[in-house]
């Protein structure tokens, strides 16, 4: 089985680190099998909240050049909650359209109580309120749209002969001439690869001539739900480390391919893991632990679909 071209991304690296079989399903089998592709697209509650926030911010930035008054901000947030999220929930709960949005929790009949829903809505509301009140938004709008370098655009550059793909939330040239690269976050803390992710963004910026030297770049991890903004400068050593990380990560992925040149993979070369806490939250658990096979093999019920 083959995909059009091997490429590297932080999400691909994350999948590979979590489970080789999950990686195979996501980046090889999903390209050939519509049902596996549908499972790949399932969205768990935290991911859904993050997507809602990202898409709302992107939509706002594409349509507005000024920060609205507080009452208009609240009206926008209420519309996101009561229109967008409610429509998503109903479509997922119905589950009658394979192409529609679908939550992991509905697919696998995982109970979602009222407190879980309130927590999710709270994350979205706090994140959007923090966005509107952030100095980062003020700086981006003050810089002017002509100085925005990217807004959720898919970018590609090569590292060691391998295409590396990334999507920056926002990058702009501030009034002092520095390039600011922003990554909006809705989680509670820094993810396992957040620093690598923004270092990759900086590597792209440096190689595409956005700055004369890495010191002209600042990266910001904006943890909106906590109103915490981690902005750091970039050093040449950081870019060197990012390049090395990507090269090594891509090499490990390609080692498991039957034919690296043709990007051909076999399922048997990507073993399953034995970690119930990971498996029970995996989009593909139905493929690894079908109900009947799970019972015959004595697999813990937490592994198998509900």
Residue 2 has pLDDT above 60, yes or no: no
- pLDDT value for 304: 47
β-bridge pairing 179-185 and 217-223 = parallel
272-294 tens-digit pLDDT = 998 888 899 999 999 998 875 44
Return the residue matching tokens 């790949």: 40
The alpha carbon dihedral of 281, 5, 170, 37 has a sign of negative
Residue 177's pLDDT band (cuts 50, 70, 90): very high
Residue 219 has pLDDT above 70, yes or no: yes
* CATH code at 143-248: 3.40.1350
Q: Residues 242-256: what's their mean pLDDT?
A: 95
Return the SS3 of 222.
strand
Q: Residues 91-108: what's their mean pLDDT?
A: 95
Q: What share of the chain is helix, strand, coil (3-state, %, to 5)?
A: 55, 15, 30
| Residue-wise DSSP of 143-180 | H-GGGEEESS-EEEEEETTEEEEEE-SEEEE-TTS-EE
Which 8-state DSSP code applies to residue 109? Answer: T
Q: Residues 240-251: what's their mean pLDDT?
A: 94
Return the higher-pLDDT residue of 164 and 187.
Answer: 164
143-153 tens-digit pLDDT = 999 999 999 99
Q: Residues 197-209: what's their mean pLDDT?
A: 89
Average predicted confidence (pLDDT) for the chain? 91
Q: Are 235 and 228 in contact (CB under 8 A)?
A: no
Q: Are 23 and 256 in contact (CB under 8 A)?
A: no
Residue 122 has pLDDT above 70, yes or no: yes
Return the SS3 of 113.
coil
Residue 220's pLDDT band (cuts 50, 70, 90): very high
Residue 196's pLDDT band (cuts 50, 70, 90): confident
Determine if the pTM surpasses 0.75. Answer: yes
38-67 tens-digit pLDDT = 999 999 999 999 999 999 999 999 999 999
- For the chain, the structural domain boundaries read 42-133, 143-248
Q: Residues 152-168: what's their mean pLDDT?
A: 92
Q: What are phi and psi of 25, to 5 degrees?
A: -60, -40
Residue 223's pLDDT band (cuts 50, 70, 90): very high
pLDDT-wise least confident of 101-110, 121-130, 165-174, 290-299? 290-299
9-21 tens-digit pLDDT = 999 999 999 999 9
Residue 92 has pLDDT above 50, yes or no: yes
């Amino acid at each position: 089985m083959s995909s059009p071209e091997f490429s590297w991304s932080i999400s691909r690296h994350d999948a590979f680190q979590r489970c080789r079989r999950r990686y195979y399903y996501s980046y090889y089998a999903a390209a050939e099998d519509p049902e596996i592709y549908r499972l790949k697209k399932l969205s768990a509650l935290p991911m859904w909240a993050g997507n809602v926030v990202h898409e709302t911010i992107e939509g706002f930035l594409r349509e507005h050049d000024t920060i609205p008054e507080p009452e208009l901000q609240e009206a926008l947030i209420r519309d996101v909650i009561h229109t967008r999220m409610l429509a998503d929930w109903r479509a997922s709960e119905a589950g009658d359209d394979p192409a529609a949005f679908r939550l992991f929790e509905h697919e696998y009949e995982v109970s979602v109580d009222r407190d879980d829903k309130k927590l999710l809505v709270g994350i979205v509301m706090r994140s959007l309120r923090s966005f509107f009140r952030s100095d980062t938004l003020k700086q981006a709008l003050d810089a002017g749209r002509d100085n925005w370098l990217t807004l959720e655009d898919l970018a590609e550059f090569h590292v060691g002969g391998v295409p590396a793909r990334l999507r920056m939330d926002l990058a702009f040239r501030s009034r002092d001439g520095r390039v600011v690269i922003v990554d909006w976050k809705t989680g509670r803390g820094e993810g396992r690869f957040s620093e690598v992710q923004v270092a990759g963004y900086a590597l792209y910026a440096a190689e595409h001539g956005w700055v004369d030297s890495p010191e002209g770049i600042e990266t910001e991890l904006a943890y909106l739900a906590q109103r915490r903004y981690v902005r750091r400068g970039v050093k040449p050593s950081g870019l060197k480390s990012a390049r090395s990380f990507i090269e090594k990560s891509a090499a490990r992925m390609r080692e498991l391919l039957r034919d690296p040149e043709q990007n051909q993979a076999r399922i048997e070369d990507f073993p399953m893991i034995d970690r119930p806490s990971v498996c029970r939250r995996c989009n593909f658990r139905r493929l690894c632990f079908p109900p009947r096979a799970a019972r015959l093999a004595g697999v813990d019920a937490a592994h198998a679909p509900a």
